[in-house]
Structure 1
């Protein structure tokens, strides 16, 4: 079965729609989101509604946690807290209800899916873990593959039972059965890997083959809308 996995839409409806249009060109059986569907961007309500219409299952990201729990907002810097407050104003109660039903992690097709770091952290960054941390995590992880987001960057970490290897996620790859993997798939709505195109991955669960997709979209429209909606301008500027 071919599945699509995406992360960190960040209320960037234009980028999300471009990704969905690209997904429609493949015979994808299911689409999953790794959270941070909202925050930073101008269209949180439309993004949450579109997730629902497309029946895309999602886990909670740190921005969803910040919306739902006041004590989680101290984790954000001043600008991010301001953006989160404005995001809350732009969301309906129905959208908040949908967000409340999202789990911290899920396992689908033998793959673990979590926003930040396995087994179910929405806050921990993969890039902050050293090799000893990663080795301990792999020893506890039952799944062959874990997909994560959160850093808005691309990274591949693998474990052969003795050694940790980490590097940039390639454009295409085949997962070996004798290794375990943590795959950071980047961001749809706020990429931070030096390439401003939206990112997501396609994964063939039978062939164990992954393809990284890079999708151009109308950045100008999103950037202007961020400013118009009263969100911090820096989140518009860094889209470029």
Structure 2
């Protein structure tokens, strides 16, 4: 059975719509979001409404936490706080209620899904974790694979019960039944992996195979809209 997992849409409606159009070309049973659906981008309310329309469950990202908690907002730099304040102005109360009901983590089809790091951190970046920390996390993790986002980059970490291995996230991954994995699946709305296309993955839950998809979209219009909506220009420039 095929599922789609995506992350870090960041209110980039055009990228999100392009990804959904790509997903619709496959026989996908369900779609899941790893959070940071909002922040940085120009269309947070439309993105949340589209998540609802497509019945796409999502965990909380750090940007959703920042909207819900003043304490969490202190974690952001000044530009990100400015973007978050403008994001709140652009969100309806209905969308805020929807965000408030998102969990920190979920397990679907034997896969753990969390924004930052297992078991349920929305704030921890995968790349800051030492191998000893990763091994300890793998020991506690009951699931065969954990999907994460947050870094906007692509990476794969695996563990065979003794050794932690790091590798790039390739276009196709066959998961070995004797290993556990954390897959950092990149970003739909603000990639930072050197390729400006929107990223998401397809995962075959029976064959344990993952395919990385890269989808082009209208960056120019999105970048212009970021500036027009009063968000920091750097988040428009980053799209390129």
List per-residue Cα deviations over 1:116-146 (Å, max 9, x = no partner). Answer: 0000000000000011110010011110000
List per-residue Cα deviations over 1:128-176 (Å, max 9, x = no partner). Answer: 0011110010011110000000000000000000000011101001101
Correspondences of 1:1-240 after superposition (within 5 Å): 1-240=1-240
For structure 2, list consecutive stretches of 5 or more residues without a partner in the other structure: none
User: For the residues of structure 2 that align with 1:236 and 1:224, how far apart are their CA atoms?
Assistant: 7
Q: What is the root-mean-square deviation in Å for CA atoms of aligned residues?
A: 0.3
1:4 Cα offset (Å): 0.2
After TM superposition, the runs of 4+ consecutive aligned structure 1 residues lying more than 3 A away are none
User: For the residues of structure 2 that align with 1:122 and 1:54, how far apart are their CA atoms?
Assistant: 23
User: For the residues of structure 2 that align with 1:173 and 1:39, how far apart are their CA atoms?
Assistant: 30
Partner of 1:88: helix, strand, or coil?
A: helix
TM-score (normalizing by structure 1): 1.00
TM-score (normalizing by structure 2): 1.00
For structure 1, list consecutive stretches of 5 or more residues without a partner in the other structure: none
Length, aligned pairs only: 240
